[in-house]
Chains A and B, each alone.
Chain A
Amino acid sequence: MFMRPSFRLVPDNTRIKFMRGRIMGLVVSAVLSTASVVLFFYPGLNLGIDFSGGIVMEVRTPGPADFAQIRAALSAEHIPEQGVQQFGDPSEVLIRLGAQPTEAAVQQAVTRVRTALEKSVSGVKVLRTDAVGASVSAELFRNGLLALGISLVMILVYIWFRFEWQFAIGAVVTLVLDITKAIGFLAITRIEFDLVMVAAILTILGYSTNDKVVVYDRVRENLRKYKTLPLRDLIDLSINETLNRTLGTSMTVFLASLPLALFGGQSISGFAWVMLFGIVVGTSSSIFIAAPILLFLGENRLRREAAPAAAPAARS
């Protein structure tokens, strides 16, 4: 155990012809991403209050919660709740209220829910209150999009500088496809889309870029090494050479995220599931999407410019 590795993920010297499946990969990806875009509009994302505005209160009752009683208590005070549901434990209840017309109304609603509950449900404890006004939610949403957009642009510029423009385009197009799929996943699973999800998507972005850069790096190296090998075979070779690493790293990140999904508690498990999905998507897209795009874009160009292309890379 302490000396030799016990297993290998993939045997050495694999010669899998990944580029044979390039059309298939792109088509499957395009279909999935298109479906995700459709899902984004219908039924749409389950926006959390960070982005929709509104109120969420998590309360704990001494015994198993009596939902009818809580609903009755709220309706007695004419509070229009949008949902009273179990949250984890049977004794924990999540109460949702929709967006309120003004900031003052949000604050009043919070106070009213609190007093209504304390009056009619004995021993109730408010564990958590989140109240977000409309102006803040719009701003949080804009900032989330901005973070995503600027990250993509920076990755594009960075890869363009360190590699060639074909690599940069390939990576960013793939990343956009990855992100749309993650959005589709969120739409299907109805996992709440909130600030933490933006963090999840940016992490997927970081992870996925990392994965693509490793494959690209090997392609760049092989371009210098095998001057006459057709690009298609060269890309296949590069993927095969990095296969153990690609799978190894995705395994470790997967293993690190898994306990978060299982034991991380309600608020973090959604994040972890999206991460797990993103790891699978990000790893497969490095092989089946980013590489084929590079092949299409670089078919003649990267080869013909082999000498000048190698020059900037040699400096790095």
Chain B
Amino acid sequence: MMYFTPLKSAVILGLCALGAILCIPNLFAAPAPWLPWRQVHLGLDLRGGSYLLLEVDMKAVVKERLDSMVDGVRQALRPGSIFYQTLEAQPEQNRILLKLRDSTKLDAAMAAIRPLIAAEGSRGTPEFDMGSSPDGTIVLTLSPVAMNARARGAVQQSIEIVRRRIDETGVVDPQITQQGETRIVVQLPGISDPNRIKELLGKTAHMTFQLVEETANANAGGVPPPGVDYLPMQDNPNQKIAVRRRIDVDGGDLTDARAGTNPQTGEWVVNFTFNSIGARRFGDVTRQNVNHRFAIVLDGKVISAPVIREPITGGRGQISGNFTAASANDLAVLLRAGALPAPLTVVEERSVGPELGADSIRAGAVSLAVGFILVIGFMATFYGLFGWFANVCLVVNLVLMLGIMSLLQATLTLPGMAGILLTLGMAVDANILINERIREEQRLGRPPLSALEHGFTRAYNTIFDSNVAAFLAHVMLFIFGSGPVRGFAVTITVGIATSLFTAWMLTRLLVSRWYAARRPQLLPV
């Protein structure tokens, strides 16, 4: 128990030294890029920045899928002259309801729809479950498996688009991660007013080119004719335009978009380029519809609806629509980054300015220093030499904690700093237990070496049991907590682990060395 082979001593001291080495990267920036340089990150509450929690609107994802399925069913029923009373998406129940006029055509209708389901099905399971009743009703229900797959895809795609949009703004070192099933965390260091980012992320930016239906008068009100929507103008929502529902060209076929100025008028425009598919479609549509109006629709609002003067075959075009330099630029960014599969809502926002972060660091550092001195003073006063052994362990503990946190590249938050201090307060508990036990054993009349042996062995049982319970509580906090509180849980769990090491190994090594050197008749505990 009290004897350490030279190898064992070397390993223990080596681990302590390793901890110290791992702390070095926190002191200055990496001298060479090839060096592994792992640092503790400062949390946004300390360095200033914004945390946004975004929720992907899954209802919109489902609704969009159902709407496109309704379109598919409509087209599938047309060739067989199968007429229906109702064909509607019911997003609340995740289904499509179809009621035929003539219930004898039920089988024909189902036969027409079946290929749609089979074609859309992925990996064996059909995306929709089809049910029917003899009165001519067909219900297509989106299967939960397919819905989950679609939701996962939508979140993945959203993360990608969010990253591209944020990269365009030049924010340094943004972190974009998924949280839970439908949420995305965006962390923006150094951005204390995330308004512009929120505006950029607040648009799905789904752009389409659709023909204007000249025969309908949108501003007269009433129900639009089949296949036509009345859409508001972007800069004047009261004015509406009748737009055919059919999407001629989709913004997804854009390869580039840049803000620029029209050389003739000097107004701000967005110049865009199509890929080959988009260019061909755009060419076809414009060729067939010269002198018609072509609406450019963004998120259900018409940006502009210019008249097609001549076929546009080069795959390049220009959007004008009362832009300012900023709004033209934003639109270009959105178009370049691509459309979000579903709208995002900000459900939680926390932003901290750099001043407050600096204040917090100062407050945390002062508390840490004062607390450290108080604990060291206490141990020295009440335990003398053995208290100083504990104090050495305390310093090593701090170093090891920082080392491990650097290795994990953990995030240090203000609650995390509080956690470090509390851990130091609790870490000496192991030494207190040891010291008290040794003292007790000595008072029972054991000679020094025997008292040490028994003291350490007996104390370790207690130390282990008492720390496991605390450890469990903080693992739970890490699993269920969020943000800065997780930082707190990380520091405490790491601290418990390192304090077990210092108590179990280092204290014993120090005491055994001291004992070997002095051979005291009485332990000064």
A interface list, Cβ under 8 A from B: 1-9, 12, 58, 60, 103-104, 106-107, 110-111, 114, 125-133, 135-136, 140, 143-144, 146-148, 150-151, 154-155, 158-159, 162, 195-196, 198-199, 202-203, 205-207, 209-211, 213-214, 217-218, 221, 241-242, 244-245, 248-249, 251-260, 262-265, 267-268, 271-272, 275, 316
Contact = CB atoms under 8 A, between A and B. Distances in A.
B473 interface: yes
Contacts of B115: none
Contacts of A3: 384-385, 524
Contact of A147 (B345, B468, B481): B481
A207 B468 contact: no
Interface stretch (B72-80, B105-113, B206-214, B458-466): B458-466
B200 interface: no
Nearest to A209: B469
Contacts of A256: 371, 374-375, 421-422, 424-426
Contacts of A129: 349-351
B474 interface: yes
10 contacts: A5-B387, A5-B524, A128-B352, A155-B472, A158-B468, A162-B465, A202-B473, A206-B470, A211-B466, A256-B374
Given A143-B482, A199-B489, A203-B492, A214 B433 contact: yes
B442 to A, nearest CB: 11
B443 A12 contact: yes
Contact of A259 (B355, B415, B421): B421
A249 B422 CA distance: 11
Nearest to A57: B351
Contact of A252 (B414, B428, B525): B428
Nearest to B390: A252
B380 A146 contact: no
B378 A210 contact: no
B55 A103 contact: yes
Given A133-B347, A252-B379, A209 B418 contact: no
A135 B399 CA distance: 41
Interface residues of B, number: 83
Contact of A206 (B349, B368, B428, B469): B469
The 8 closest A-B pairs by CB, nearest first: A256-B425, A206-B470, A265-B363, A147-B480, A259-B370, A253-B425, A209-B469, A255-B374
B91 interface: no
B18 interface: no
Nearest to B468: A158
Interface of B: 53, 55, 192-193, 195, 198, 202, 345-353, 355-356, 359-360, 363-364, 366-368, 370-371, 374-375, 378-388, 414-415, 417-418, 421-422, 424-426, 428-429, 432-433, 436, 440, 443, 458, 461-462, 465-474, 476-477, 479-485, 488-489, 492, 524-525
Contact of A125 (B353, B374, B436, B482): B353
B367 A8 contact: no
Nearest to A241: B440
Nearest to A58: B356
Contact of B366 (A130, A217, A259, A267): A259
B484 A210 contact: no
Nearest to A9: B382
B361 to A, nearest CB: 10
A127 B479 CA distance: 29
B21 to A, nearest CB: 27
A2 B465 CA distance: 31
Nearest to B421: A256
Contacts of B387: 5
Given A136-B348, A248-B436, A202 B476 contact: yes
Contact of B374 (A195, A241, A259): A259
Determine which residue in A60, A198, A242, A265 has the highest number of CB atoms from chain B within 10 A of its CB, and name it. A265
Contacts of B192: 126
Nearest to A203: B422
Contacts of A125: 353, 355
B469 A210 contact: yes
A255 B349 contact: no
Given A4-B384, A202-B477, A127 B418 contact: no
Contact of B481 (A198, A209, A217, A271): A198
A23 B488 CA distance: 38
Given A245-B433, A249-B429, A103 B384 contact: no
B378 A260 contact: no
Given A202-B474, A213-B465, A244-B436, 8 more contacts: A1-B381, A4-B524, A107-B198, A107-B346, A128-B356, A210-B467, A257-B422, A263-B366
A157 to B, nearest CB: 9
B352 to A, nearest CB: 5
Contacts of B378: 251-252, 255
B476 A147 contact: yes
Nearest to A125: B353
Nearest to A159: B469
B414 A136 contact: no
B432 A252 contact: yes
Contacts of A107: 198, 202, 346, 349
B364 A264 contact: yes
